[in-house]
Structure 1
Amino acid sequence: MNHSIRGAAAVVGVADEVSSSGVIDVPLRELEARVITAALSDAGLSLRDVDGLCTCTGGTLMQSVELAEYLGITPRFTDATQTGGASYGLYIEHAAAAIAAGLAETIVIVYASTPRASRKRGEKGLGVFATPERLEWETPFGVMLPISAYALAANRHMATYGTTAEQLAQIAVDTRRWAALNPRAHLRDLITVDDVLGSGFLAEPVHKLECCLVTDGAAAVVVTSAERARDLARPPAYVLGAASAASHAMITQMPDLTVTPGSVSGPAAFEAAAVTPNQIDVVELYDSFTITVLLALEDLGFCKKGEGGPFVADGVLAPGGDLPGQTTGGGLAYTHPGAFGAFLLVEATRQLRGDCGDRQVRNAQTALAHGTGGVLSATSTVILGTEATL
């Protein structure tokens, strides 16, 4: 494998915008511009420094080009690849490669979505899952997306490996413990396993408290060359490794309901970074549902396939646990505007800088951000470090 991106680029600016109410009722372009400006300011840069732009917000044909026009910039490099919540780690991979190849020097990655405000205004859309294939082959049979897909995966994992409802619930409990430490989190009240199990099924065996939020929000990440990063305002988070993968679009076409594309992107990212799972200090895993986290832990190699239930049962992901994870409170409790991948990168960078206050993981030198898109369809794995080489 070509490891040319290892240490060639770094995240140098991050910002996110969330609301305690879950609603940010401003035009989408304004929200994108606000969070981009904040991330550039964090890095000590401005729009004049940007020559690359990555986004898939908005659902139009030329998202990155249209946003560039709105911002008044003419980037050399653009990317609007859409793999759902995995898009933003994929953009890190592409940005680092572009920078290493000399195609750009400073690239902004941005995501913004306002589903709550749009609903409040009475706006309606067809939904990202309303494809012709799904409408013909899945919807008539009662598949309610996305939750039905994740319920299928949870059921299969429980039937195959003996994973229990209590073990999956523990993931939600631990995530809420992180949220309680985050004054910006949407849900901060502590919960118990019994609370989760008593919250009712939305699609058996997935309980309400195992499902992500629906909120408005935005996040932006600035990536530049390692050489330039050394002279900027904030400590850089170097891109040590990144990889992406996809295996299916419809849940009925998933080769194995217990194995995600993370089984491909994870090992590839670790190989590129020349580190192993036991060298990771903090993980930011996409938590659309608790089963998403459990499958990621197995596929990334933090535990063996089928052992995710016992692995999470004793609070390994919680504050003080051996593998701190979802330290903002995650998509379950912090925010979830529809694709949470960009927020994972923001928090991973902040943890490596030591910027996280009460939720700071001590001596964090390496962080992994793992995005999941679609119905366990696509993944992106990014490994960041405080040093360009480890």
Structure 2
Amino acid sequence: MTHTFKRGAAAIVGAAESDLGEVGPGFSPIDLMAQGVRRALDDCGLSMRDVDGLFCATSQSRLAGLALAEYLGRPEAYLESSSTGGSSFMTHLAQAQRAIEAGVCQVAVIAYGSTQRSAGGRKNTSVPERNPYESPYKPFLPPSAYALAAARHMHEFGTTREQLAEVAVAARQWALLNPVAWEKQPLSVAEVLAARMVSYPLTIRDCCLVTDGGGAIVVTAAERARSLRKPPVYLLGAGHVTTHQTISSMPDLVRTGAIRSGQMAYAQAGIAARDVDVIEVYDAFTINTILFLEDLGFCAKGEGGAFVSGGRIAPGGAVPVNTNGGGLSYCHPGMYGLFLLIEAVRQLRGECGARQVKDANIAIAHGNGGVLSSQSTVILGGAQTL
């Protein structure tokens, strides 16, 4: 669907992570949401009493919106806690702008929290589901689903395991510039290829981290945003497409809904892929980055493997991609989309230190939910883009 709203009518004014990595058994997902909200409000100079809109999602709470409203003491806040997996937060951002334009709320926070690492890993934070077309074969999900896409891309376009590994290596190089990234050691293509195989052709280094973490962003009307502590980052365009739930129902394993969600976002923002300065895409697996770079128009379909090679998407390369280290090397608490938005905001505000992209004016943040199921794209820009 197209998220129709007035271009630049609302802005992100605060952004912050909660504690990341392994927070221990004393924290709940709602604790981490609240910690992120408090830090994001401090970031922009607003207080909890200003908040009248709450948007959140997590796989570890059945009624996350109710739990967060109770925790923050905001009983009359407008609530939205629909979940499309890791793409939820891009969709929440578009919903928040529409709610602000409609006068339903004035200051919205979008929050996420997960303790999947402390809880014992990914298997303890997902609802088991039986699919008669997949379950009898005992797939290891989600890796096996993404392995199908990677294998098909290799078959159809000649993509190599070395090219997939280049994505992981670039992410690690960005992570080494990020003080809060989980991974602290360099990584080579050879090490990715030699790592333990998880689901062919993906090794453990082709797969995202399993960490705890959370965070929040604060959204308000453009007029109010200009009076706050940090430079506003405006929502210029958004689009969302859902193509399937289970991987056996995906219409085409190498063409995702990002093709259409990106087209929607670009049209609303009035830009093209060539105008984007910073690219933040959901890299739960190395194949994701290749697919989304293709589907969002940064290279032609089938050329993603060659496009990511030779350090092009690494620090110092021509195309800055996943500049915080991504889900592969920075953090991945299970639903990663909010962290893409946080990094995009920081890049556009010039706050990223050693990993800062020079003259960053426009960023794309693309969320993926399920097994390449739900694709949500947002375009963000600074004041000069209005």
Considering the TM-score relative to the shorter chain, is it more than 0.5? Answer: yes
1:23–1:355 Cα change, 3 Å: farther
| Counterpart in the other structure of 2:260 | 264
Q: 2:327 aligns with which of 308, 324, 331?
A: 331
- Which residue is 2:163 aligned to? 167
Who is 1:131 aligned against?
Answer: 129
The residue type equivalent to 1:244 in the other structure is H
2:108 partner SS: strand
Separation of aligned partners in 1, 2:82 and 2:310:
38
1:199 maps to which residue?
195
Shift in CA distance, 221/24, structure 1 to aligned 2, threshold 3 Å: farther
1:307 to 303, 307, 313: 303
Q: Secondary structure at the match of 2:86?
A: helix
Give the Cα separation in 2 of the matches to 1:224 and 1:24: 34
Choose the corresponding residue for 2:248, options 241, 244, 252: 252
What amino acid sits opposite 2:30 in the alignment?
A: R
Aligned to 1:150: 146
Separation in 2, partners of 1:377, 1:165: 23
8 Å contact kept, 2:193–2:203: yes
Deviations 1:211-264 (A, max 9, x none): 100000011010111010000011111001111111000000000000111111
SS of the aligned residue for 2:119 comes to helix
Q: Residue 328 of structure 1 aligns to a residue in which SS? A: coil
Partner Cα separation in structure 1 for residue 188 and residue 96 of structure 2: 41
SS in structure 2 at match of 1:202: strand
Q: Does 1:219 align with 2:220?
A: no
Distance 2:186 2:124 in 1: 34
- For 2:225 and 2:268, the matched residues in 1 are separated by 21
Further displaced range: 312-321 or 142-151: 312-321
Distance in 2 of aligned mates of 1:21 and 1:2: 36
CA RMSD in angstroms, aligned pairs only: 1.8
* C-alpha distance in 2 between matches for 1:98 and 1:368: 22
Matches within 5 A, 1:1-390: 4-19=5-20, 21=22, 23=24, 25-57=26-58, 59-119=60-120, 125=124, 127-128=126-127, 130-132=128-130, 134=131, 136-387=132-383, 389-390=385-386
Q: Judge conservation of contact 1:25–1:114 (CA < 8 Å) in 2.
A: no
Task: Note the C-alpha offset of 1:60.
Answer: 4.4
CA distance in 1, matches of 2:261, 2:240: 5
What is the SS of the residue equivalent to 1:177? Answer: helix
State the identity as a percent. 48
Q: Secondary structure at the match of 1:240?
A: strand
- 1:362-386 Cα offsets, whole Å, 9 max, x none, are 1111111111111000011111101
Q: TM-score with structure 1 length normalisation?
A: 0.94
Is the 1:22–1:186 contact (alpha carbons within 8 Å) kept by the matching residues of 2? no
What is the letter of the counterpart of residue 69 of structure 1? E
Aligned residues of 2:113 and 2:214 also touching (Cα < 8 A): yes
Range moving further from structure 2, 94-103 or 322-331: 94-103
Contact 1:177 1:319 in 2 (8 A): yes
Structure 2 CA distance for partners of 1:194 and 1:25, relative to 1, 3 Å: farther
Q: Secondary structure at the match of 1:233?
A: coil
Can you list the C-alpha shifts for 1:264-298, whole angstroms capped at 9, x where unaligned? 11110011111110111111111100001111011
CA 1:19 to 1:69, structure 2 compared with 1: closer, same or farther past 3 Å?
closer
CA contact (8 A) 2:55 2:109 kept: yes
Alpha-carbon distance in 1 for matches of 2:330, 2:371: 21
State the distance in 2 between where 1:72 and 1:206 align: 44
CA offsets, 1:24-60, max 9 Å, x none? 7413332221111110111110111111111122554
Whether the 8 Å CA contact 1:18–1:335 is kept in 2: the answer is: no
Q: Is the 8 A contact 1:53 1:75 kept in 2?
A: no
Letter in 1 for 2:317: G
Structure 2 SS opposite 1:321:
coil
Cα gap change, 1:92 to 1:2, in 2 (>3 Å) = closer
Instruction: State the alpha-carbon separation in 1 of the partners of residues 349 and 58 from structure 2.
Output: 28
Cα deviation, residue 208, structure 1: 1.2
Q: 1:124 to 1:274 in 2, by over 3 A?
A: closer
Match of 2:5, SS state, is coil
CA contact (8 A) 1:286 1:330 kept: yes
Secondary structure of the structure 2 residue equivalent to 1:314: helix
Cα distance, 1:3 vs structure 2: 5.2
Q: CA contact under 8 A between 2:16 and 2:217: conserved in structure 1?
A: yes
Indicate the larger mover: 209-218 or 26-35. 26-35
C-alpha contact 1:24 1:217 (8 A) present in aligned 2: no
SS of residue matched to 2:379: strand
> Where in structure 2 are there 5+ consecutive unaligned residues?
none
Question: Alpha-carbon deviation of 1:388?
Answer: 6.6
